[in-house]
Structure 1
Amino acid sequence: MLIGKGKLVLAVLFIVFIAVYMFLWQEARKEIFYLCGNFSRGDNLTSVTAQLQTGHYLNYDLIEKPTGTKLVATSKLPLQNYQCSIVFDKYQAVNKAWFE
C-alpha cells in the first residue's frame, strides 16, 4: 500500500511541475512577443536595451556588424525557440524588429 501512495505523490508532483513549467513557458513567450512589438523604426539602442532589461524570462545578445548592430532576445527557459530579432543601423537606431 505504501508503494501505491508513493507513486501517487510522484504523479501529483510531476503534474504540478508540468503545470508550473507551462505557465512560465507561456509567460516567457508573451514577454518576448510583447516587448518585441514595442520597438519601431528609429528607436535607439539604449532605449531598446533598457526595456529588455525589465524582462524576467529573457536574455539578449548584441552582434556587431559593419552595417550596424543586431540584437537577439531569447528566453532563459530551456526548450523555447522564440526570439526577437532587432536590426539597428550604423546610427544605432532600429531599422527592423520581428518576432519568430
Structure 2
Amino acid sequence: MASEPDPDRLRALEARLAQVKEKPKAQQSTTAKGFSQGEVAWRMVIELATGIGLGFAIGYGIDTLAGTIPIFLIIFTLFGFAAGIRTMLGTARELGRKAEQAAKDEGN
C-alpha cells in the first residue's frame, strides 16, 4: 500500500525548513564592519607574526653585516614582537570603537 503525501504536512515542513535556514545568518557573530570573529583573529595573528618576522629579518641582516650573530637578531626579534602586540592592540581598539558606533547607530 502506497500512501499519498499529505500536502498540509509538506507545507508545514517547508515552512520549518525555511525558518531553520534563516537562523544561522542571524546568529553568525560579526564585528561592526561585517567581518567574522575568525577573520579578525587571523588578522591579529598575521600582524603579530609579521612583526616578529620583520624584526627577525632586520636583526639577522644587521648581525650578518656586523658579524655579531645573535645579538641584534634577539634584540630586533623582541622589538618585532612588541611592535606586533602594539599593532594587535590598535586593531582591537579600532574594532571596539566601530562596535560602539554601530551599537549607537542601532539605538537611534
Higher strand share: 1
Instruction: Using structure 1 for the length normalisation, give the TM-score.
Output: 0.39
Task: Give the number of the structure whose residues are more often helix, by fraction.
Answer: 2
TM-score, normalized by length of structure 2? 0.37
Q: Which structure: larger Rg?
A: 2
